[in-house]
Amino acid sequence: MAIRKFVSFFLQTITIGLAVAFLYVLVIEPELLHRQDRIVEVREIPETATAPEADVQPPAASGEPSGPVSYASAVERAAPAVVNIHTAKVITRRVHPLLDDPIFKHFFGDRFTNTRKEVQTSLGSGVLISRQGYVLTNNHVIEGADEIQVLLNDGRSTRAVVAGTDADTDLAVLKIDVADLPAIVIGNSKRLRVGDMALAIGNPFGVGQTVTIGIISATGRNHLGITTYEDFIQTDAAINPGNSGGALINARGELIGINSAIYSRTGGSQGIGFAIPISLAKNVMTQIIEKGHVVRGWLGIEAQDITPQLADTFGLVNTQGVLIAGILRDGPADNAGLLPGDVVTSIDGVPVADANDAMKKISARVPDTLIELSGIRQGESFSVQARVIQRPVLTQPRT
């Protein structure tokens, strides 16, 4: 009997509470009945509705910096200036070693030729630097080509001529004669920071213009054995065969590098790609256009980085500087009195970090000017002045 009264009392209490809540919502806060409806309306935007596109997401509530949600504007700005490059060259192949055998020739004479001419084609990319038709690309893309065809982003195709090449940086400049050409906006690669966004545009595997995205993984990469003068941008934006010579751009669509090489064990992208910074490429391109070749200073020395072991041997306090490992006889350095075993620590009063830094400082000097080298010789300080000459042009093709 007591339990039945308790249950009855409990149900009455709940009923009264619900009635009071209903009256409160109905009389005092009637807008609560419509709040859920407003939430649903915001979430379910009709597909036919139009809204302005946004490139940047709203600031995060936590105060963390926000980033672009789309790089379409950057790509639209740069892509028209990126071109596909098709090359063709005639090569001669041996048919079979047996045809050169003296016994075979004794019986058959010269009726069978042991050579056969074939046309070898390759694909690459390039970047239109000016509306006058100059295209910047890699030297290895067009090296040895008998014919070069440039395919523009708008579908037009034209033949190109080589304005000049520079094997030491793996750069080449082509010239095309077409009206109404786009030109890419050149950025500042010297301001790049690790973590900056980067996009690679090119023609990988010949599938057509493709855009990949990543970040700047490192700057100033050298000692890779790719070129003589190395100052590469490293990126994890996918770069594959066919991307060579294409554009590496920033989030604003500005050119910051020329895609040049990949590190790969399979031939495909593994997230380690290298691009020539536009600060270096622009200087090479300007000299090629104005002079037809690149002028660099040269002393005729073989420079070597200083290891901790070498530093102990020569009594140096650190590894900063460069060891002169060899000197060309009767070259500028030899005539100036520089000796093998000298450690050069500064050039023109500016400290030298390593061999790569020393070679860049020397090559940047105008030929027929004096350069001062200071350092340590057999434990004593020394300083010499050498007259820089123009670096000889390589007579043998690079491999």
DSSP state of 340: T
Integer CA distances (angstroms), 261 to 196, 217, 238, 239, in order: 20, 14, 11, 8
Point out the residues that are catalytic: 140, 170, 244
Q: Is 241 helix (H, G, I), strand (E, B) or coil?
A: coil
**Overall size of the chain counted in residues:** 399
The C-alpha atoms of residue 48 and residue 385 are separated, in whole angstroms, by 76
Amino acid code (one letter) for 230 = E
Question: Rounded to an integer, what distance in angstroms lies between the CA atom of residue 288 and that of residue 282?
Answer: 10
CA pair distance 133, 183, nearest whole angstrom:
9
Please list, in sequence order, all residues whose beta carbon lies within 8 angstroms of the beta carbon of residue 363, skipping any fewer than 6 positions away.
229, 296, 297, 298, 391
Amino acid at 385: Q
Question: How far from chain centre, in Å, is Cα 184?
Answer: 15
Q: Which residues make Cβ contacts (< 8 Å) with residue 286, sequence separation at least 6?
A: none
- What does 152-180 look like in DSSP terms, one character per residue? -TTS-EEE-EEEEEETTTTEEEEE---SS
Place of tokens 């005729």: 300
End-to-end CA distance of the chain: 104
CA 267 to chain centre: 17
Return the ∠ at Cα 68 (arms to 64 and 73), rounded to 5°. 160
CA 221 to chain centroid = 11
Centroid of chain to Cα 322:
28
Question: Nearest to residue 357, comparing CAs of 220, 191, 203?
Answer: 220
